[in-house]
Amino acid sequence: MKKITFVKLTYCPFCRKAEMLLQRLLKENEDYCDLEIERIAEDLDPEKAAGYPYELVPNFWLDGEKVLEGIPYILTLRDVLEGALKHEEASGVRDRVEARGFPKAPPPDMPPFRD
């Protein structure tokens, strides 16, 4: 299995959504629970996060290669978990995620989230 790294910000609503979806997927498929998932909160550990260049949070990496960045969707997170479970190349996982065509960032006129 490949190691997954999840880079986030503790106050980011999309990062909280990614964590919620990730927990849902872990409950749905017990095989995913065997995956090594390292969580790095950039605002709490900026030095560690500096090793993962990105433009948007959240973002996910397979063995050091970025495969998902921006707004999380359950299908794209499942792609990441399946890729790690099946030892897929990061480029193949990234291509599958991008082929889904989901937007990475919210539209500029989107109102802010409120908890």
In tens, the pLDDT along 71-91 reads 999 999 999 999 999 999 999
Distance CA 88, CA 85 (A): 8
How many Cβ atoms are within 10 Å of 63's Cβ, its own excluded?
Answer: 14
Q: What is the CATH number of the domain that holds 60?
A: 3.40.30.10
To the nearest whole percent, how much of the chain has pLDDT over 70?
95
Q: Is 67 within a domain?
A: yes
Average pLDDT of every residue of the chain:
93
The bridge status of strand 59-62 relative to strand 37-41 is unpaired
In a domain, 8, yes or no: yes
In a domain, 113, yes or no: no
Within-domain flag for 105: no
- Residue 110 has a pLDDT of 67
CA-CA distance, 62 to 70, in Å (whole number)? 16
Asked if the structure places residue 11 within a domain, the reply is yes
As a whole number of angstroms, the distance between CA 92 and CA 99 comes to 10
pTM for the structure as a whole? 0.90
Domain that holds residue 94: 4-99
pLDDT grade for 107, boundaries at 50, 70 and 90: confident
What are 38-60's pLDDT values in tens digits?
A: 999 999 999 999 999 999 999 99
For residue 35, being part of any structural domain is answered with: yes
Give a yes or no: residue 54 inside a domain.
Answer: yes
pLDDT of 109 strictly over 80: no
Residue 112 in domain? no
Instruction: Report how far residue 26's alpha carbon sits from residue 90's, in angstroms, rounded to the nearest whole number.
Output: 20
Number of domains in the chain: 1
